[in-house]
Amino acid sequence: MKTLICAPNSSIILSKLSPCRPNFPASYPTEKLNHPFCTLKPYASAKGFSSTPPTVGKDANERPIRRKNIDDGDADDELPSTVIYRIIRRILFCVGVPMGLGLMFMHIFGVLRENQVYDAPRWLAFMTAFLTFGASSVGIAYGALSASLDAEKDGSFLGVEQIQKNWVDMWQEEDAAAK
């Protein structure tokens, strides 16, 4: 039986077992990995958020990763970084608050049950988790739609008027793309 560790060719052979520790393999791989960890480098910009493609390797003369050709008409669809950060903040808030409340209620129910103060029925804990975690999943869409897409305007705290505007704009773009 072979087990993969970090690379396709390195493996541990499990056929010989040690008599004193039967759960651990007796032999370990001595060959070097095909892809050492020093060559695996993360890139700072995610795909789609950078204007220049990342280069692979240390040498600047190497060929960069090519992107698909994009029509020049789609260039105006890019959002400014202030709007992107505003959307991210709203999503984190709209997901984090209900998720934190759900975890807090689960902890409170557990402490009350352990200390025998109140034996909450299981359906109450289940419904609380269902509502709070469900609200956090809805928070992703709410956070994205409630953010103002105008770089100069912050919008209101709840963003209700922005949801109405962004919802209509989103469906108009969808209908235009379908035609």
pLDDT in tens, 99-137: 999 999 999 999 999 999 999 999 999 999 999 999 999
Calpha distance 163→143 (Å, rounded): 9
Residue entry with tokens 């809805």:
138
Tell me the backbone φ, ψ of residue 91, rounded to 5 degrees: -65, -45
Tokens of 122: 């299981």
Instruction: Give pTM, 2 decimals.
Output: 0.55
pLDDT in tens, 132-174: 999 999 999 999 999 988 888 888 888 899 999 999 998 998 9
- Using the Cα atoms of residue 27, residue 30, residue 31 and residue 36 in order, give the sign of their dihedral: positive
